[in-house]
Structure 1
Amino acid sequence: MTQPVSSAQHGGPDKAAPPASAALPPSKGGGLRALGVRVDVRNLSLLGVLAVLIAVGGFTEPDAFLDTGNLQLILTQSSVIGVVTVGMTFVITSGGIDLSVGAMVALASVWATTLATQEYGFAGILFTAVLVGLGAGLVNGLLIAYGKLVPFIATLAMLASARGLALQITDGKTQIVTVQSVLDLGLPDSYVLGIPPLVMVFAAVTVIGWLVLNRTTFGRRTVAVGGNAEAARLAGIDVRRQRLYLYLLSGLCCGIAAFMLIILSGSGQNTNGNLYELDAIAAAIIGGTLLSGGRGTIVGSVLGVLVFTTITNIFALNNLQSDVQQIAKGAIIVAAVLVQRRTSAHGET
């Protein structure tokens, strides 16, 4: 019987070549190839859920639900929270959380619609919304990455502070937008081939987010930090700087979403973005992004947004109470987390 060649014959155990799989970062719940299949299956499942919801909407309210205007409304409403969810997906993938996204959207929307800001027209409103979002994200990133605050506490503090500042700016009043070039983007005349401009912005952000997460060093570092921050640090990744960039990215998405919301509503209010943090987290989770970090999917998050928005639309058309909607969303979130835990446990055995 042929004896296996020992490592000592090649210079001892210290020089033994590691298995090929050791060069790859460990993934939760299985290898990378298995992970890719699992993510595809999850996305297909979400597409199936979305198809069922469309069938339910078409059966219960065929004239209203399948109307072109209603379908455009679903996509438009998905766009604002969808952009926020893209940023949230990056943060959760890194093992963090951002509870302040809704408040940042509110603050950016009211700051960008003050009379002083509107004097600078379209560019002034857009620039202010994005700048405020980036500023709030920078504060979150500095507190978490360099101040070493727990993300939950830091972003919770930002939630309270941003909401309070938004209320102070507006004095509880609605700020009406008077810049016609901004308002025109929300009108049907601005649609391109029947597609609202906000949907095109959402599509662009989604594509860019997917490319960054899946095809760049920044995306790989994000996954590595979420999988094991200490191992990422030992591998040469500046974990603190990476986390700062991620919360800046979340703030940028909130600024863009705030501008989209201004177009959609034609105003700025301190109540804008209410519960966006819960919707964004829920959409990312049911899409397949691990709440513990280390795995994220932009496509799944977008599908999660579409599922939640479609459910809300169907309930509204059928005159169901909002509390029923929240119960349904809660049940979906719990089911998604249980599936994630079961999948991870199965992969680790």
Structure 2
Amino acid sequence: MTQPVSPPRDSTHKLPPVDRLPAFRGLLGHADVRTLSLLGVLAALVLIGGITRPDEFLDTRNLQLVLTQASVIGVVTVGMTFVITSGGIDLSVGAIVALSSVWATTVATQEFGFAGILFTAVLVGVGCGLVNGLLIAYGGMVPFIATLAMLASARGLALQITDGKTQIVGVTSLLDLGERDAYVLGVPPLVMVFAVVTVCGWLILNRTTFGRRTVAVGGNAEAARLAGIDVRRQRLYLYLLSGLCCGIAAFLLIVLSGSGQNTNGNLYELDAIAAAIIGGTLLTGGRGTITGSVLGVLIFTTITNIFALNNLQSDVQQIAKGAIIVAAVLVQRRTASTT
């Protein structure tokens, strides 16, 4: 007697949705906790600023200034988040911003007007990112060494171009972007550019194959290679992306300051790395969050603003930033040990 054959099961029908998988729910839970924690810290800082300097800190112009200042380093941090998520590091972002800003503000470049300055800033940034990517992905150099060499070279070239002088921008259409008349519903154009870069970065990291490959390379490069991912090409693209963000940031800095200087972008690499880390991006790679990085930038920028308004010493400000970074790393280690 033959046994009745049951119809084949649809294995996909029995699989739970992705958002119901325990690991995914745990990841979301930790992400929510991190985001809420960062929002809580930011809210506490706003409260402190409102209590200590209510008239100055809560003034609309001061809040616009905070967001504008956060925009430049924020764009750099978006690119840095991708690089760190992949398990790399980029110590040259500040120097690339400086080189891009001075190259884009030379007399020869300014003759081409607004478009010439924008194009040059972005092109120099991408070019530096290309050199970093080639050295790391195809030259086999350690990211720390390659980007450190770029830091020194870009700073030196920026100093050579400017001869230690400040290059003043005379393109009226560019300078007008920094005026209050250019604000849209009270939002500075630089902040809108930062918002666009942030949204694009979030979508690329969380909703595209490129983003998934970035996380895979950072989590386990060898496993990613065996899965068919071209790890070297992916790393090249990531440093190109970081260079692009530096070029955009250099252009924003030119608009903000109306000049190009070889000292631009000083310590941007440390601020960008710190913002990404406290935002929840693992320094060892494999996990990154654009939202957390942006909140990290806003926290640091708000701290700087509060200290400036209260006439506090910059050394105390640096100590406070260092304490926040240490606390963030300890939280990361605790979170990682419980997952």
Equivalent position of 2:4 in the other structure: none
Q: Distance in 1 between matches of 2:247 and 2:24?
A: 34
Superimposed CA distance per residue, residues 175-225 of structure 1 (whole angstroms, 9 cap, x where no aligned partner)? 000000010000000000000000000000000000000000000000000
Equivalent position of 1:162 in the other structure: 154
SS in 2 for 1:31: helix
Query: Is the 8 Å Cα contact of residues 50 and 58 (structure 2) preserved in structure 1?
Result: yes
Structure 1 position 249 matched with structure 2 position 238: no
Q: How does 1:124-139 map to 2 (within 5 A)?
A: 124-139=116-131
TM-score for both structures, normalised by structure 2: 0.94
2:190 to 193, 198, 217: 198
Equivalent position of 1:318 in the other structure: 310
**Residue type at the aligned position of 2:144:** F
Q: Distance in 1 between matches of 2:239 and 2:227?
A: 22
TM-aligned CA deviation for residue 99 of structure 1: 0.3
SS in 2 for 1:148: coil
TM-aligned CA deviation for residue 32 of structure 1: 2.4
2:300 to 308, 312, 321: 308
Superimposed CA distance per residue, residues 42-64 of structure 1 (whole angstroms, 9 cap, x where no aligned partner)? 01110011100000000000000
**Residue type at the aligned position of 1:89:** T
SS in 2 for 1:69: helix
TM-aligned CA deviation for residue 20 of structure 1: 7.2
Name the % identity.
84
Equivalent position of 1:147 in the other structure: 139
SS in 2 for 1:185: helix
1:75 to 44, 51, 67: 67
For structure 1, the residue ranges without an aligned partner over 5 or more in a row are 1-18, 25-29
Equivalent position of 2:264 in the other structure: 272
Equivalent position of 1:40 in the other structure: 32
Q: Which shifted more, 59-68 or 32-41?
A: 32-41
Equivalent position of 1:121 in the other structure: 113
Q: Distance in 2 between matches of 1:336 and 1:91?
A: 19
Equivalent position of 1:15 in the other structure: none
2:336 to 317, 332, 344: 344
2:199 to 173, 192, 207: 207
Q: Distance in 2 between matches of 1:44 and 1:141?
A: 35
For structure 2, the residue ranges without an aligned partner over 5 or more in a row are 1-13
Query: Is the 8 Å Cα contact of residues 30 and 335 (structure 2) preserved in structure 1?
Result: no
Superimposed CA distance per residue, residues 279-328 of structure 1 (whole angstroms, 9 cap, x where no aligned partner)? 00000000000000000000000000000000000000000111111111
Superimposed CA distance per residue, residues 235-281 of structure 1 (whole angstroms, 9 cap, x where no aligned partner)? 00000000000000000000000000000000000000000000000
Equivalent position of 2:3 in the other structure: none
TM-aligned CA deviation for residue 338 of structure 1: 0.9
What's the Cα RMSD here?
1.3
2:169 to 177, 197, 216: 177
1:295 to 277, 281, 287: 287
Structure 1 position 286 matched with structure 2 position 292: no
Q: Distance in 1 between matches of 2:28 and 2:203?
A: 16
- Where does structure 1 differ by over 3 angstroms across 4 or more consecutive aligned residues? none
Query: Is the 8 Å Cα contact of residues 275 and 296 (structure 2) preserved in structure 1?
Result: yes
Q: Distance in 2 between matches of 1:109 and 1:121?
A: 14
SS in 1 for 2:178: coil
